[in-house]
Amino acid sequence: MTDLVRDFVEDNIADLHADLDAWLRIPSISTSPEHAGDVRRGAEWFAEALRRTGFPTVEVWETGAPVGAEGGAATGHPAVYAAWPSEDADAPRVTVYGHHDVQPVDPLELWETAPFEPTVRGEELFARGAIDDKGQLLFHLLGLRAHLAATGRTSPAVHLTILAEGEEEDGSEHFAQLLRDRAAELAADVVVVSDTGIFDRATPSMCVGMRGMTYCQIDLHGPDIDLHSGSFGGAVPNPATVLTRIVAGLHDADGHVTLPGFYDRVVDLTPRERDLLAALPFDEAAWVAGPAASRGTAGEAGFSTLERIWARPTAEVHGLHSGYTGPGQKTIIPTDAMAKVSFRLVADQDPGEVETAMRAYVAGAVPPGITASVTFFSGGVRPCLTPLDSPWLQAATRAMETAFGQQVLYTREGGSGPEADLAEILDAPVIFVGVGLPDDRIHAPNERVVLPMLTIGAIAAGHLWSELAAAAR
Ligand SMILES: [Zn+2]
């Protein structure tokens, strides 16, 4: 079957490569104040590229509050916004998310070629930002041109909005506020995130969810002075003992988290998703010995390693401190004990409910003579999940499968990111259409993009708008 999108992309791939070369030369490192001008220059460059692609509305949006009463320069890095309404009034609204800023490059001496002088070796292009995320934003521009050329349309099949953030690599400090301030312009039926990758080159996949998180510190106070354990031990409460009981009590013998109600809102994996996760060529032994640097696995009984890190909630202890930790022996009952604990959350858990349950658990576990405080550092991050039977996900899967020419599997992310803000604030499902590879060395020296992956990305993007429009009908 002829694929006009593929033909257009392949005939015009040089345009994508030329754009990539130009944009990657701008060192838009958002964490370095001395590169603030470059981040802005990178935003302006992308805005111009969107204009020449045909977007009728393109704006560079300031972020962060203006400095001073006079309203001086904004404190954040600018975002780029573009909108191209469909001539089909009832078409779905789609917002594409990516980011135009990049990570720092140090240690510079480990780069084989200069990070802001894009260099092609074989099918790879090396430069900071090549895949994270400039390459992935640019495949959308060629994909959109292919969509218009292949369908003969003069506007996209969806009401298309693009948002390129400028502070993703610097903590997205102003992102949630930007989404709230601009909710009208960004309103979407579905959000497409292009800032992630696939399982491996032979195994195309789409991420369907990210875990949320909430994080707290527990402080226990016992005697007001360190006490001699010979004179007082056994007769006054020891905060170190109490704290370790609290921490140990967070899990039962099967690795389940014991907080009452913790699992009430958890969306269970469906048998189909479990089958598809099991179909991923995950080499657990290599994972244990390699990235996990461990000698075994552990976790909630009844779940595989991928299920445990992607689809199940957890409680983890990050730090414990109490009493004497110097050399030799010192026989005290300590005054204080402290632990840092976080919970990774999955849909539809609510960080606020977990916080309430944790506070109640600690309060109920503290004996007379010990005072406890539990401090949560923020309101937490919500998890997000797009069910496999979502019509949007199925439409995007068809676009990806057409581009890859093979079945697409599903992954999730164990961590959390600004994608959760997109899902929550825009109140729309998030679909991840990305073509990064696990060994692209994002954030590291010699970041690269495998250029044929961008071709596939552009083909997927070129099919995506027709598929999403069809799904809405
Ligand atoms: Zn990124």
Q: Indicate whether 351 and 448 sit together in one domain.
A: no
User: From ligand 1's centre to the CA of 137, what distance in Å?
Assistant: 10
User: From ligand 1's centre to the CA of 168, what distance in Å?
Assistant: 7
Quote the percentage of the chain above a pLDDT of 90. Answer: 94
- The candidate with the shortest Cα–Cα distance to 282, out of 292, 295, 271, 272, is 292
Among 376, 395, 410, the domain-final residue is 376
In a domain, 68, yes or no: yes
pLDDT for res 66:
72
pLDDT for res 211:
95
Residue 430: its H or E element: strand 430-432
Residue 59 pLDDT > 60: yes
In a domain, 442, yes or no: yes
Residue 425: its H or E element: helix 419-425
User: From ligand 1's centre to the CA of 403, what distance in Å?
Assistant: 22
Q: Indicate whether 106 and 52 sit together in one domain.
A: yes
Q: Indicate whether 24 and 104 sit together in one domain.
A: yes
- CA 399 to CA 393: how far, in whole Å? 10
User: Tokens standing for 331?
Assistant: 């026989």
Q: Indicate whether 158 and 240 sit together in one domain.
A: no
pLDDT for res 237:
97
User: From ligand 1's centre to the CA of 187, what distance in Å?
Assistant: 22
In a domain, 276, yes or no: no
The rounded mean pLDDT for the chain is 96
In a domain, 467, yes or no: yes
Q: Indicate whether 113 and 183 sit together in one domain.
A: yes
Angle at 100 between CA 96 and CA 105, to 5 degrees: 140
User: From ligand 1's centre to the CA of 259, what distance in Å?
Assistant: 34
Average pLDDT of the residues in 310-336 = 97
Average pLDDT of the residues in 424-446 = 95
User: From ligand 1's centre to the CA of 257, what distance in Å?
Assistant: 32
User: From ligand 1's centre to the CA of 98, what distance in Å?
Assistant: 7
In a domain, 177, yes or no: yes
User: How many CB atoms are located within 10 Å of the residue 245 CB?
Assistant: 12
User: From ligand 1's centre to the CA of 169, what distance in Å?
Assistant: 7
- CA 224 to CA 335: how far, in whole Å? 6
User: From ligand 1's centre to the CA of 232, what distance in Å?
Assistant: 56
Q: Indicate whether 390 and 243 sit together in one domain.
A: no
Contact in structure between 440 and 131 (CB atoms under 8 Å): yes
User: From ligand 1's centre to the CA of 102, what distance in Å?
Assistant: 8
User: From ligand 1's centre to the CA of 252, what distance in Å?
Assistant: 37
User: From ligand 1's centre to the CA of 34, what distance in Å?
Assistant: 21
pLDDT for res 8:
98
Residue 70 pLDDT > 70: no
Single-letter amino acid code for the residue at 278: A
Confidence of residue 378 (pLDDT cuts 50, 70, 90): confident
User: From ligand 1's centre to the CA of 170, what distance in Å?
Assistant: 11
Average pLDDT of the residues in 51-58 = 98
User: From ligand 1's centre to the CA of 423, what distance in Å?
Assistant: 17
CATH (domain of 235): 3.30.70.360
Q: Indicate whether 325 and 396 sit together in one domain.
A: no
User: From ligand 1's centre to the CA of 306, what distance in Å?
Assistant: 22
Average pLDDT of the residues in 434-452 = 97
User: From ligand 1's centre to the CA of 315, what distance in Å?
Assistant: 27
User: From ligand 1's centre to the CA of 74, what distance in Å?
Assistant: 23
User: From ligand 1's centre to the CA of 261, what distance in Å?
Assistant: 35
- The candidate with the shortest Cα–Cα distance to 354, out of 256, 265, 246, 245, is 265
pLDDT for res 418:
79
pLDDT for res 151:
98
User: From ligand 1's centre to the CA of 329, what distance in Å?
Assistant: 49
108-155 pLDDT, tens digit per residue, is 999 999 999 999 999 999 999 999 999 999 999 999 999 999 999 999
pLDDT for res 71:
58
CATH (domain of 87): 3.40.630.10
Among 351, 376, 401, the domain-final residue is 376
Average pLDDT of the residues in 52-79 = 85
pLDDT for res 419:
84
User: From ligand 1's centre to the CA of 3, what distance in Å?
Assistant: 30
pLDDT for res 417:
74
User: From ligand 1's centre to the CA of 196, what distance in Å?
Assistant: 7
**What Å distances lie between residue 107 and 23, 34, 101, 114, 263, CA to CA?**
22, 17, 18, 11, 43
Average pLDDT of the residues in 152-164 = 98
User: From ligand 1's centre to the CA of 198, what distance in Å?
Assistant: 14
Lowest mean pLDDT among 38-47, 48-57, 166-175: 166-175
In a domain, 362, yes or no: yes
Q: Indicate whether 189 and 252 sit together in one domain.
A: no
pLDDT for res 68:
60
User: From ligand 1's centre to the CA of 302, what distance in Å?
Assistant: 33
- The candidate with the shortest Cα–Cα distance to 467, out of 403, 424, 373, 405, is 403
286-316 pLDDT, tens digit per residue, is 999 999 999 999 999 999 999 999 999 999 9
User: From ligand 1's centre to the CA of 182, what distance in Å?
Assistant: 22
User: Tokens standing for 211?
Assistant: 């875990």
User: From ligand 1's centre to the CA of 48, what distance in Å?
Assistant: 21
Residue 42 pLDDT > 70: yes
Strand-by-strand arrangement of the 448-450 sheet: 119-121, 124-126, 448-450
Say how many domains are in the chain: 2
Average pLDDT of the residues in 228-248 = 97
Range of the domain at 169: 2-210+383-472
Among 376, 393, 412, the domain-final residue is 376
User: Tokens standing for 417?
Assistant: 């990111």
User: From ligand 1's centre to the CA of 332, what distance in Å?
Assistant: 49
In a domain, 48, yes or no: yes
Average pLDDT of the residues in 160-173 = 95
Lowest mean pLDDT among 35-39, 62-66, 159-163, 223-227: 62-66
Q: Indicate whether 81 and 123 sit together in one domain.
A: yes
Q: Indicate whether 357 and 233 sit together in one domain.
A: yes
User: From ligand 1's centre to the CA of 363, what distance in Å?
Assistant: 40
Q: Indicate whether 233 and 142 sit together in one domain.
A: no
Average pLDDT of the residues in 72-97 = 94
Residue 67 pLDDT > 70: no
Q: DSSP letter string over 354-386?
A: HHHHHHHHHHHHPPTT-EEEEEESSS-B--EE-
Hey, which residues does 94 pair with through a beta bridge?
Answer: 160, 190
Q: Indicate whether 101 and 11 sit together in one domain.
A: yes
- CA 141 to CA 452: how far, in whole Å? 16
382-393 pLDDT, tens digit per residue, is 999 999 999 999
In a domain, 49, yes or no: yes
